Structure 1
């Protein structure tokens, strides 16, 4: 049994659920933060459950008592319930960090995103990187993990491919290596144990967008039909959204369209492959 006691914030999210499983597999004592009592039924193998809202610091009192490590994957892709990126990705994590500092927690790991430090102009990263700055300057051992896109994020390609064609901006040669949640969770725990201050990571396969589109079409047993749109269309969409909509609407689209215009390659890691993931998702939908 591992003697370390770990708090996982963001436990109900895609990565959070894998983190909980990986920590328990290795024998850690695990406390999770959830927002609602009803979410307790999602977890049967944790040691303690704390109900509180990360955006309301008065509900977090005692959350880090007797905790050695905090791992937070808290963040929102789409702003909802009246909450902004700054409310959740920055202030929510800052509230948690304040509790950790108060209780003299040994280490705090935060899951940001690849190249976030270079894309601070995007609404999503503005909040994430403001918290990274705060964590870096805090009197606590920190671990900042910057993963490439999650396999779950790539399902947008699969949804497009279901209709028999995939649309890409530009020539489709930009590369990325998305990562499965199980592989990322394993990597995060390894780096927490090693005391690594900052790492970027992706999955084992470096794929061009053209390859990614082909894999998605193949998963549906569709002929390869990929249409390349001029890049000025992508730029004009971003400009129009920023000009005529709120950050609630344009935030996730701005992030996606900006990320798709450049290479996003991190160190390769893991054993899960995107083509297998796509096939599993298609089989689930057909079942």
Structure 2
């Protein structure tokens, strides 16, 4: 593949850092969009930085100049800085898209999530999928990545398991195959220049929620301690949070609890296994 110049937005996040490494490994030139000067120290092999706020379009002027491909995983799944999903997941990425169109980039890759097109009623997907629609109707070649959850998202199970108990809703038999950031980065770079592409992808291990819980408990050397709660508690929790808290509070929980209620199975790819990730995470936690 010819050497390309690639802009990476969301580079300081879990997936973004792996994307930068994968692009560099394949000898592409990388420009990283960061919000502040101090974030430069997160990247050892990059010397092309653009400082700007994705929610402030004037600060992005020229960000895509001389860029062939744009990659963005920008979103506020974990952030808490007063901005809404619409501010960042939709409008921020839309601001970036306008710059990409102005500069005539070849391809634009955006990371949403599995099932987003069918779960638009969730706050987080309302914004993400509005941007997906805008990207698809743009004149650019696009790729929509729909990963089946990141390994980093599974830390919630690991944190729960530390106490010796993992709480699941229903029977715990719904299946999922989350993917490691490094494996997903390879899939992203493989697909970024495929014309008008949508990729649903997961990791190599298809696990039931019960199996996932056992992996988390085993990582802490805990005896199996899985508590199955009736599903009405999950539904009531979503209703209660939607009714009495802001979208910033309930958005991530609504997302997590909704996806726990059915199978999320995607193409199985990659070399990293969740059992190894859990072991490494526990070792890190024990060293702190």
TM-score of the superposed pair, with normalisation by structure 1: 0.98
Query: Which residue of 1 is the match for residue 200 of structure 2?
Result: 200
The residue that corresponds to 2:227 in the other structure is 227
Aligned length: 287
Following TM superposition, by how much is the alpha carbon of 1:55 offset from its aligned partner in structure 2, in angstroms?
0.1
The alignment status of 1:276 with 2:283, answered yes or no, reads no
Task: Find the counterpart in structure 1 of residue 126 from structure 2.
Answer: 126
CA-to-partner distance for each residue in 1:188-239, whole Å, 9 max, x for gaps?
0011144461110000000000000000000011111101000000000111
What is the correspondence of 1:58-69 to structure 2 with a 5 Å cutoff? 58-69=58-69
User: What is the deviation of 1:2?
Assistant: 4.3
1:108-135: CA deviations, max 9, x gaps?
A: 0000000000000000000000000000
Match of 1:56 in 2: 56
Indicate the residue corresponding to 2:70 in structure 1: 70
Conservation of the 8 A alpha-carbon contact between 1:36 and 1:52 = yes
> Within 5 Å, which residues of 2 pair with 1:96-111?
96-111=96-111
Q: CA deviation at 1:78?
A: 4.0
* 1:44, distance to aligned residue in structure 2 (A): 1.7
Given that 1:34 and 1:49 are in contact with CA atoms closer than 8 Å, whether structure 2 keeps it comes out as yes
2:173 matched residue in structure 1: 173
Structure 1 segments, 4+ long, off by >4 Å, are none
- Offset, 1:158: 0.5
Partner of 1:163: 163
Q: Tell me, in whole angstroms, the C-alpha distance in 1 between the residues paired with 2:201 and 2:3.
A: 27
Contact 2:120 2:129 in 1 (8 A): yes
1:286 deviation in Å?
A: 1.6
Distance apart, 1:248 and its partner CA: 1.3
Distance 1:98 1:218 in 2: 48
Q: Secondary structure at the match of 2:80?
A: coil
Deviation per CA, 1:32-76: give whole Å up to 9, x if none. 000011101111212410000000000000000000000001011
Output the CA distance in 2 between the equivalents of 1:267 and 1:261. 20
Shift of 1:79: 5.5
Aligned to 2:264: 264
Rounded Cα–Cα distance in structure 2 between residues aligned with 1:47 and 1:240: 48
Gaps of 5+ in 2: none
Residues 81-110 of structure 1: CA deviation (Å, up to 9, x unaligned): 221000000000000000000011111000
2:142–2:194 Cα contact (<8 Å) kept: no
Name the counterpart of 2:17: 17
TM-score normalised by structure 2 residue count? 0.98
Q: Residue 95 of structure 1 corresponds to which residue in structure 2?
A: 95
User: Shift of the alpha carbon at 1:80?
Assistant: 2.5
SS for the counterpart of 1:110 is strand
Provide Cα deviations, 1:216-274, integer angstroms capped at 9, x if missing partner. 00001111110100000000011111111111111111001001011111101100000
Aligned partners of 2:82 and 2:248: how far apart in 1? 9
* Match in the other structure for 1:37: 37
C-alpha root-mean-square deviation of aligned residues, in Å? 1.1
Separation in 2, partners of 1:77, 1:218: 28
